[in-house]
Structure 1
Amino acid sequence: MNSKNNGTFSPGFFKDPNIYLPIAIAAVLLLISALVSVTAGTVKNIIVFALILIAAGLITYALFAMKNLTKNYMLNLASEVESVQNEILLKMPIGVIIFDEGSTIKWLNPFMQKFFFKKDLIGNDLKELDDDLYQLYQEFQENDEVKEKSLYWEDSYFHVFSLPEERTLYFIDVTYYGEIAADASNNRLVIGNIMIDNYDENSTMISDRRKSTVDNFMMKQLSTWAGNHDSYIKRFDDDKFLLITTYGELVKMEEDGFDVVDTIRETTSKANFPLTISIGLSYHEENEEASLLSISDLSQSNLDLALSRGGDQVVVKTQSSKARYYGGKTNPMEKRTHVRSRQIANTIANIFETNDSFFVMGHDYPDMDAIGACLGIRRIAEMNGKQCYIILNESRINGDIKRLLVELRKDEKINEAIITPKEAEDMIDSESFLYIVDVHKPSITVEPDLIEKFNNIIIIDHHRKGEEVPENVLLEYIEPYASSACELIAEFFEYQDQNAKQINRIEATTMLAGIIVDSRNFSLRTGSRTFDAASYLKSVGADSLLIQHLLKEDLSDYIKRNHLISRVEFIEPNLGIAAGEEETVYDNVTAAQAADTLLSMRDIDASFVVFLRSDKRIGISARSLGNVNVQTVMEELGGGGHLSNAATQIEDATVSEAIDMLKDVLLGDNKEDS
């Protein structure tokens, strides 16, 4: 660089003492020599004096020449640097955009110009030109600490730098390295486990010849599908397969919605040999480290999750990401066996025999199934000589449960067993056991915070399993094809001590009411074992008249239900949404009944009722005939349930906002299906 002083050029190195001191000393010595020569007076001295003057003149001339040459050199260098800078701005693959006080483009170089179709960019607002770049610019402006970011834009990779004070963005084209990173990401290993859900049940009923035909068909279908995705598949058991693929192919599989699941189900169903498959897949995220063993283990866990949700679906999940679900378009087929039920019943009995402190609770705003399941567990504990306390928040119950509590409190032992969450907290110790029934998500239980205090948790539920489960689960019995939790628990009584005091009238009545409510009068998810459980409960004293009394509807609720139905809106053919007013509170039962009633109407395949709950959250009750998977819809909104019966609760939202969220999910799902 050059500097200026009073208009005269002065290179910086002339100010260096290592330069000017020797020159100054040399000048002084020359001057002394000249004076000595003159005072000596001889001819020789005069000649020496003349030579000294000539040398001094030459040195002075050389210094001025050096100064001029240096000045010209620096000026030329500055000119060349400026020229190179201009060349870089205009020709190098580096983009520059300069903005004015807002987001209006003040100047950009030709490299950036070529990415826009519009030729005249200067003076235009970036917001109107490109959404991606505008969002990036806003991120830089809103956070001064962020100085650089990576960007994939217009089929190219960029590293973008921000100079906030200059209001300038620099774009470094790193497409070559970005493509290498993308290839590495797409080539990440994906491990999958595949299982034929109902192979054993079907293969035992056919001849060996037909079984061989079915085996060949399944292998061909899966091999063709894997081959189309450049993947490796290996059969290691009659109903189990190993899949090895890459992340890039997994993305394509997800884009196709894992169509092999639908193909196998539909083809085998037409051949009168219905088979479904479940798949669990896992890989490692780019920002996490994972061994092949951990990926394989998680893949198996994802398969187990798919099976616990009823099968006929795919679960994709990594260590740090939420699960992604595909399929699950059919109601789960009954695979529960009496052997499995007996094993669970014996395990529960053994737990009661060898421990002393027990508690049971269901979901928030419990229904007949949740209360009936709690009563069933309490009775099994009593049959094994132990006390089990029912945790209930009586400030958060509906009208039918209030009527039930009046009947329950007539039984002294049941009345003593019903406690509040606060009372339970004071009674819990490190050895206490908690039974969670008719629910497995901690966030929607009677008291979520209480769950963390238990080291031993047992889950008995009939809803399709989601990601949210408690820690410290000792035993899990989730059977999504059962009609209700009461059905599952009713089967346990067969394997208890028959000499102990059996279930009484009010307990049997409540459990039967739970089955009736959840199966919608034996019309939904009802199998032969549902009727077996109902028959057993009826045989031990379940009172049908009392059930009718407990399930009677208030006139005001009836009017509210019809009012909700009258507000139905069709957003797509055969999809109906009914919504309550913003300030009007509806209870869960009224909303659920409204959804059920809507579903019975012609031309409605799925119904959704959106309403304000008493706890100020927005509830959505969803029902379908089976061709719309309302479970996955509700899961996207934080809820869950069954394929044809699901719900959710949304916090910090209004009814209209919840409707918009629901529509976004529904319309998005319909677009994907199409």
Structure 2
Amino acid sequence: MNNKSQEENLPKLLNHPYLKRMLLFAVAVQFTMTVLSFFAYIWLGALMLVLFLITLVIIWRFSNEYNEELNNYILNLSYRIKRGQQEALIKMPMGIILLNDENLIEWINPYMQLQLPSDQQFLGEPIREVNRDLSDYFDNEKREDFNLVEWNEKIYKVSLQKDINALYLLDITEYASITEEYEKTRPVVGWLFLDNYDEITSGLDDRGVSGFDSLLTTYFSNWGKQHGIFYKRISDDRYFLLLDREELERLENDKFNIIDSIRDRTSKRNLPLTISIGLSYGDASFDKLADIAQNNLDLALGRGGDQAIVKAIDEEPRYYGGKTNPMEKRTRVRSRMISQAMQKLMNDSETIYVMGHKNPDMDSVGSSLGIARIAMMLKKTVYVVIDEDDVNKDVAKLLEEIKKHKQVNANLISSTEAERMIDANDLVVLVDHHKPVLSIAPNLLKKTRRNMVIDHHRRGEEFTENPLLVYIEPYASSTAELITELFEYVSTDGEPINRIEATAMLGGIVVDTNNFSLRTGSRTFDAASYLQSVGANSTMIQRLLKEDPESYLKRSQLIETLEYVIDGVAIAYGADDEIYPSVTAAQTADTMLSMSGVEAAFVITRRSEETVGISARSLGKINVQAIMEKMGGGGHLSNAATQIDGQSISEIIEELKEVIHSQLD
């Protein structure tokens, strides 16, 4: 190695310019002293010269020995590094796979070969045939830095060096199993509520109540032991639950059959009990999980009870059960309390705005007119928000009749007018819906925080923000039925309900019950009787609901496409290039229910160039709401719908079939 190379290999300390200057300075000083010594004494100069030469020899020999030792060290270190690289490439506990430009395997390091079956040949094979997950990761341009791949019963973390087509696989099977075990044992917090415990026990004597409680204790004790669930009875109708994630998965796989089981067992004793469950898990404190579980329970009760709702932190809820019509819990006392609370909110408000859902039906319009009449009876300023350009033919006919009643018609305004007039002190009343996205004018809710909800649909996760009053009764036939009962508790100082308002509300009940054939209870007839007594015109309702020949023919065309997905479940669909009114699809679904062998009907039609709608109906045995929620919609146990953008009819048919099979098989 030449001097230049040696100099370049010197450590920074010896090669430092400051050190060089110090050495040169020391040599110069000694040389100067040697020269001066000759002027003083010859013998002293000779001695100093000898010492100077000895010093130069020592420095020269030290420099050579140091450079030789340093070069040997560098050569040895370089060899060790290269040897280590080779050994690491061959023996390190990481799999390495090299591919050629055709994605064929060229080389696998020895460690990886030991992890793979010895009786299989991998060299020269396409990576896709060896492991599809590895191939997908290699081909994916949007790949992440690392990806998990399962291969030969092991789990690897994979990374890619694209410039040399090298895949690196790190075995993390042990860590993955630890993570899996951790996930299985994560705590799940929940609440279990006996929906109609008070109603059942109110008709029993003390002995009967004790026997019923003993039955529940035995059943829940066996259920808890079977699934490893800790439970604690907090009150007569409320239990606290604590379990782990693995047991929750088992419960979900069984579709929470405890809901059906306990209802069936108690029904045999003529004490049909239904339960609701709210569960939560995730990265949060126990008090946060308990709050979310309580919200899930409230949501289950708002949807009519008899169901379980599971929700993890920052995830969508999962619904189970809800197969039966909710039991009637409404009492005259509750109706009176709601009526009084609503009247107080109205009296405390400057102006009241009432609005139903987009593309309103008869129930939405009739309910809006009913609330407006209650506000007028309290001598408050009230407006009904409705866009006449976005209504079906039956509602359009109703609006023409309303124009003959100047006082009622004067209260109707468009969404644009309402948004211009409303202020923060006004009250917004949502009727026949509770999701802001479905409102005719959702911006009204942003301009005032004062709002209330009256609805008969099962509650969904999306809900209006901070309502002052909520009256949701899923068992009711219609929102018009709920509002009719509120009139009994309103002061009669103002002008009472008139004929057109009563007719619109009765029309809402008729439409939502399909002429009193579905979801009809004794109080439905009571409400209809009251509306008839105050002037509701049944003949006008029949005239408003008449369909024209074109609609009849379109309905017949849809029924011609009827096919069964599974026993009892039928679908019908329209052409992808033809737009159908939503009412035609709904009427077609109702007609399909009248056919033998049809328990649930789904009608898929195009509503606009971009939107496809599904109308779903059932006779009560099949929960069409749960099916529609899987596809982004909602509704009632036996009456639901959804709208989907950007897909064709055929795509939605296949998606609907998959959801039906997953929910009902």
TM-based fold match above 0.5: yes
Q: Give the superposition deviation at 1:588.
A: 0.8
Query: How far does the alpha carbon of each residue in 1:497-556 deviate from its partner, in whole angstroms, 9 at most, with x for none?
Result: 235322221111111111111111212111111111111111111112111101101110
Q: Matched residues in 2 for 1:471 and 1:537: separation?
A: 33
Residue in 2 aligned with 1:351? 345
Residue in 1 aligned with 2:388? 394
For the residue of structure 2 that corresponds to 1:452, the secondary structure is: helix
For the residue of structure 1 that corresponds to 2:353, the secondary structure is: strand
- Unaligned runs of at least 5 residues, structure 2: none
Q: Matched residues in 2 for 1:461 and 1:546: separation?
A: 25
Q: Which letter maps to 2:394?
A: D
Residue in 1 aligned with 2:602? 608
Q: Which letter maps to 1:84?
A: G
Residue in 2 aligned with 1:95? 95
Residue in 2 aligned with 1:642? 636
Moved more, 170-179 or 659-668: 170-179
- The 5-angstrom pairing of residues 506-517 of structure 1 reads 506-517=500-511
For the residue of structure 1 that corresponds to 2:73, the secondary structure is: helix
Residue in 2 aligned with 1:626? 620
Is the counterpart of residue 384 in structure 1 residue 381 in structure 2?
A: no
For the residue of structure 2 that corresponds to 1:448, the secondary structure is: coil
Query: Judging changes above 3 Å, is the alpha-carbon distance between structure 1 residues 595 and 230 closer, same or farther for their aligned structure 2 residues?
Result: same
For the residue of structure 1 that corresponds to 2:523, the secondary structure is: helix
Moved more, 68-77 or 541-550: 68-77
Q: Which of 129, 151, 157 is the matching residue for 2:148?
A: 151
Residue in 1 aligned with 2:470? 476
The 8 Å contact of residues 97 and 166 in structure 2, kept in 1 or not, is answered as yes
Q: Matched residues in 2 for 1:466 and 1:192: separation?
A: 19
Q: Matched residues in 1 for 2:116 and 2:553: separation?
A: 60
Is the counterpart of residue 652 in structure 1 residue 646 in structure 2?
A: yes
Q: Which letter maps to 2:503?
A: T
Query: Judging changes above 3 Å, is the alpha-carbon distance between structure 1 residues 12 and 621 closer, same or farther for their aligned structure 2 residues?
Result: farther
For the residue of structure 2 that corresponds to 1:463, the secondary structure is: coil
Q: Give the superposition deviation at 1:627.
A: 3.1
Residue in 2 aligned with 1:301? 295
Q: Matched residues in 1 for 2:400 and 2:198: separation?
A: 48
Query: How far does the alpha carbon of each residue in 1:242-266 deviate from its partner, in whole angstroms, 9 at most, with x for none?
Result: 1122334323322332221122122
Residue in 1 aligned with 2:357? 363
Q: Which letter maps to 1:298?
A: I
Q: Give the superposition deviation at 1:442.
A: 1.2
Q: Give the superposition deviation at 1:437.
A: 0.6
Identity rate of aligned residues, in percent? 43
Q: Matched residues in 2 for 1:539 and 1:63: separation?
A: 120
Q: Give the superposition deviation at 1:272.
A: 2.5
Q: Give the superposition deviation at 1:640.
A: 0.4
The alignment covers a number of residue pairs equal to 661
Is the counterpart of residue 313 in structure 1 residue 307 in structure 2?
A: yes
Q: Which of 552, 557, 560 is the matching residue for 1:558?
A: 552
The 8 Å contact of residues 391 and 424 in structure 1, kept in 2 or not, is answered as yes
Is the counterpart of residue 338 in structure 1 residue 332 in structure 2?
A: yes
Q: Matched residues in 2 for 1:203 and 1:73: separation?
A: 92
Q: Give the superposition deviation at 1:580.
A: 1.2
Q: Which letter maps to 2:88?
A: I
Q: Matched residues in 1 for 2:347 and 2:520: separation?
A: 33
Query: Judging changes above 3 Å, is the alpha-carbon distance between structure 1 residues 83 and 271 closer, same or farther for their aligned structure 2 residues?
Result: farther
Residue in 1 aligned with 2:77? 77
Moved more, 361-370 or 568-577: 568-577
The 8 Å contact of residues 572 and 602 in structure 2, kept in 1 or not, is answered as yes
Q: Matched residues in 1 for 2:450 and 2:135: separation?
A: 52
TM-score, with normalisation over the residues of structure 2? 0.89
Moved more, 223-232 or 390-399: 223-232
Query: Judging changes above 3 Å, is the alpha-carbon distance between structure 1 residues 265 and 137 closer, same or farther for their aligned structure 2 residues?
Result: farther
Q: Give the superposition deviation at 1:297.
A: 2.3
Moved more, 75-84 or 102-111: 102-111
The 8 Å contact of residues 579 and 611 in structure 1, kept in 2 or not, is answered as yes
Is the counterpart of residue 193 in structure 1 residue 191 in structure 2?
A: yes
Moved more, 190-199 or 614-623: 614-623
- The 5-angstrom pairing of residues 165-204 of structure 1 reads 165-204=163-202
Q: Give the superposition deviation at 1:385.
A: 1.2
Q: Matched residues in 2 for 1:280 and 1:266: separation?
A: 21
Moved more, 400-409 or 441-450: 441-450
The 8 Å contact of residues 9 and 71 in structure 1, kept in 2 or not, is answered as no
Q: Which letter maps to 2:562?
A: V
Query: Judging changes above 3 Å, is the alpha-carbon distance between structure 1 residues 650 and 111 closer, same or farther for their aligned structure 2 residues?
Result: farther
- The 5-angstrom pairing of residues 397-412 of structure 1 reads 397-412=391-406
Query: Judging changes above 3 Å, is the alpha-carbon distance between structure 1 residues 315 and 214 closer, same or farther for their aligned structure 2 residues?
Result: same
Q: Which of 635, 644, 658 is the matching residue for 1:664?
A: 658
TM-score, with normalisation over the residues of structure 1? 0.88
Q: Matched residues in 2 for 1:182 and 1:5: separation?
A: 62
The 8 Å contact of residues 484 and 527 in structure 2, kept in 1 or not, is answered as yes
Q: Which letter maps to 1:571?
A: V
For the residue of structure 2 that corresponds to 1:218, the secondary structure is: helix
The 8 Å contact of residues 6 and 67 in structure 2, kept in 1 or not, is answered as no
Query: Judging changes above 3 Å, is the alpha-carbon distance between structure 1 residues 57 and 499 closer, same or farther for their aligned structure 2 residues?
Result: closer
For the residue of structure 1 that corresponds to 2:225, the secondary structure is: helix
Query: How far does the alpha carbon of each residue in 1:347-389 deviate from its partner, in whole angstroms, 9 at most, with x for none?
Result: 1222223323011111111111111101111111111112321
Is the counterpart of residue 432 in structure 1 residue 426 in structure 2?
A: yes
For the residue of structure 1 that corresponds to 2:525, the secondary structure is: helix
- The 5-angstrom pairing of residues 194-593 of structure 1 reads 194-283=192-281, 285-286=282-283, 290-593=284-587
